[in-house]
Structures are given as C-alpha cells and as structure tokens.
Amino acid sequence: MTRAGIADLLDDAVATRRIVALAGLPRVGRTLALRRWATTNGGVVVSHVRDGTGGLIVVDHVDEAGTTDIIERYRADDVAECDTRYVIAPTNLNALHKLTSELTGAVATITMPPVSLPDYIAERMPEIAPSGPIDDMAAAPEPTNRSQIDLDEHWLRGGLPESHDIGPPHTSLAWRRGLIEDMIRRDYGRFGIAPGARIEDVLQTLANQNGGEFNRTKISWMKGQEVNSVLHVLDRLGLTRTLENFPARSSSSIGKMQKIYIRDSGLLHALLGIETVEQLRQHSSVGECWEGYAIEELIGAAGPGATPQFFRSDDGNEIDLFLTFARSGQSIAVECKTNPDADPRPGFWKATDHLNPDDQFIVHAGTVSRTSGSLPRLPLTDAVQRVLARARANHGERSRTKATR
C-alpha cells in the first residue's frame, strides 16, 4: 500500500467504528498522516483526549494513561448517547492492546506502512526517472542540473523517513540499530514474555535466515510458548511478516512451517550490520535481503484485498510469493532473483503448472524489463506497477481525487 491509501482506510474505518487506532513502527510518519487527514476532515490533532471537542477527536501519542482516559470518555459517550468518533495513534503495543482488549469490537486498527517504493519515487520524481536497484548495465547520462534517484538507497535504508534524512550511512545505521534496541527492551509481560527474555536473539536469528522456513523448536534458549509469544509480539510491532504455505489459513497450511521475514529492509540490514550499498551487493545474504524487500513491496502493492503466501510442496517445488485476490480469486506467482539473467528453479515451473496462476513473473534486482516469453523478467519498479494494476482491477479503483488528497 502507498501512503496515500491511508486516508481512504481511515475514512472507511471511521464510518463503521467509533475508535480507530493508527498503529505502526515508531518514527514511521503517523503524526504527519494524522495531521493531513484531520485537516481534510475539518479537525485538528490534539495531544490529549480532554483537549478535543466535537464529533471527531484526533489524538496523537496516546500512551497507556491516555488510553485509560479514552476508554472512560468512550463509556461516558455511551451513557450520554453521544456518537463522538476517535482517531488515535498509540505510542506502543501495550497501549494498543489495552484499548482493544477493554473495548472489544469497538476499535478498528490500521497499520501505517513505511515509505514504499512508489512513495519514494513520487517524492523524488521531479528530479529524474529512477535507476537501480542493482546496476547491471551502464547508467544513462544524467542531466547536469538534477540529482539521480538512487533506489538502492531505499533498499538499503528501508522505509522509515529518518533513516534517509538523518545523514551519512554510518549515522543511519546507528539510528536504526538504536530504534530496534528501544523496541525490544520494552516490557511485554502482558504478552507472556518474561523480563530478560532474549527477544534480540530471536530477532537476530530471524534476520540471519531471513525468509527461511522457521522451526520454532530450534530456539534452545527459550521455552516453546515464550518463542510463540515473542514471534507474536514481533509481528504485532510490525518488525516481522509471517507467510503461510499455500493455501494460507487452511488446515493443511497450519501444520506446516511458516516463512518469517524482517519487514523493513533498513531494519534487516541494521541487524546484519550492512552499512553501504557496496556492502549489501557483496553480502552473503544479498539474495535473502532482496527477496524480503521485493516481497514486502509487492504485498504492499497488492493491498489488503490480497492474501500473501508462499508455496512449497513436500517434494520441494516452490514459489517465493503467491498472491490471491479475494474478490476475483485471481492469483500471481512471483520468483525473486537478484540476477536478471538467472533462470527460475525447475520446481517453480512444476509449482505453477500445479497452481495455474493468472499471472507469473520474475522480479529481479536489475533495471531492464523483458516481457517476451512465458515468464516476464521485471525490475521491482515494473513489478510493483504490474501488481498495482491487477489490484485495482480486482478491487475497484477509488476516484483520483479521493486517493490523492
């Protein structure tokens, strides 16, 4: 999903729920999104619920104490038969959990995504058309009065705005490491995680095998139930994404191992100690880094109406990403490659013959699109646009005015 789509999700949620919580990673840009949305809807953002008046109250930076105040005011509204709507940004997972558990069914939660590749390009589009990610051909001549969009930097630093704005590579890397440490040092006791639990070791293990099928029983230093609790918290925080084996949410999928990715590529690279694009290109995990980055971007392009999953059969036939659209039942099979010339594994063809997707392609880390033949080879920019087009056809596109305000 692009950031512009957040306004539409907020509109829809406010129409059906009296409380809407805008969640997301710290420093992901929720404050700016709330201010823009509130202005469009004739409201203002306040720091405490008592400062808000009228039928719409938008509250930023809501901690656990602030959550208590919102719950009390919501219940008072019930007594007074008042239909006030609240849009809030919880400061942490504990505040969000308290709100949703005490007002079950009353709260809609929307997750603010990091800056996606289309967002990143749109912000810099006045400069020049994009190049990259990995250069596999000579760069086109660059206009002398413009700077070039470096999509490698988006891959390297991820989608948190400050990761790009904060300065040189070593400063950005240190900032991302500090953010991770701040998140995992919090108290998650209410989620079944004991004080001193080695959350950072679980997260590092996931980073070291990014996108691997994760065997929860292999974490020898933590009890199985606590491992499950840590994985649940990491998912809720937005640090990780768990993909189920096709068909997702079915009885057969529940019994199989899941793939777990670090969602933001910048945070993944911080965990792996990758500071520069050059280090990233030469790193032993570059393939896994690319796969996770590409998959996250394509899931975002597909939107909430699509189910992301992977496919791996008992005999090893595999599809890196298999997207199915709920409304139409259509599907897309994706193979991820860093090398634009690399052929898919034989198991990919066997898997697609079995599942018969409506579309299939390779997404590679180069710059050239090759659409001839039975399997198009696309750079990520083109692959995202291809998935966006299919998502719009499947879900119906909102008016341009509403989607771009």
**Confidence class for position 146, pLDDT limits 50, 70, 90:** very low
Q: Among 93, 111, 129, where does a domain finish?
A: 111
Per-residue pLDDT reduced to its tens digit, 207-251 = 999 999 998 888 888 998 999 999 999 999 999 999 999 998 787
Residue 98 has pLDDT above 90, yes or no: yes
Q: Among 111, 130, 149, where does a domain finish?
A: 111
| pLDDT on residue 87 | 97
Residue 138 has pLDDT above 50, yes or no: no
- Average the pLDDT over 364-369 and give the result: 95
Q: For position 35, which CATH number holds? A: 3.40.50.300
Contacts of 193 (CB under 8 A, 6+ apart): 199, 226, 229, 230, 233
194 and 315 fall within a common domain: yes
253 and 173 fall within a common domain: yes
Q: Is residue 333 part of a domain?
A: yes
Residue type, 19: I
Query: Domain containing 73: what range?
Result: 5-111
CA distance 332 to 214: 24
- 220 vs 357, more confident: 357
223 and 280 fall within a common domain: yes
337 and 192 fall within a common domain: yes
Count of domains observed in the chain: 2
CA distance 133 to 362: 15
> CA 276, 321, 181: angle at the middle one, nearest 5?
40
Per-residue pLDDT reduced to its tens digit, 257-292 = 999 999 999 999 999 999 999 999 999 999 999 999
Q: Choose from 44-48, 83-87, 331-335 the range with maximum mean pLDDT.
A: 331-335
121 and 104 fall within a common domain: no
Q: Is residue 405 part of a domain?
A: no
Q: Is residue 400 part of a domain?
A: no
Are the C-beta atoms of 148 and 125 separated by less than 8 Å?
no
101 and 126 fall within a common domain: no
265 and 380 fall within a common domain: yes
Q: Among 95, 111, 127, where does a domain finish?
A: 111
CA distance 367 to 224: 44
Determine how many CB atoms are found less than 10 A away from the CB of residue 351.
Answer: 25
With residues binned 3-state (H G I as helix, E B as strand, rest as coil), the percentages for the chain, rounded to 5, are 45, 20, 35
Are the C-beta atoms of 259 and 246 separated by less than 8 Å?
no
155 and 211 fall within a common domain: yes
Q: Is residue 131 part of a domain?
A: yes
33 and 129 fall within a common domain: no
289 and 168 fall within a common domain: yes
| pLDDT on residue 1 | 65
95 and 125 fall within a common domain: no
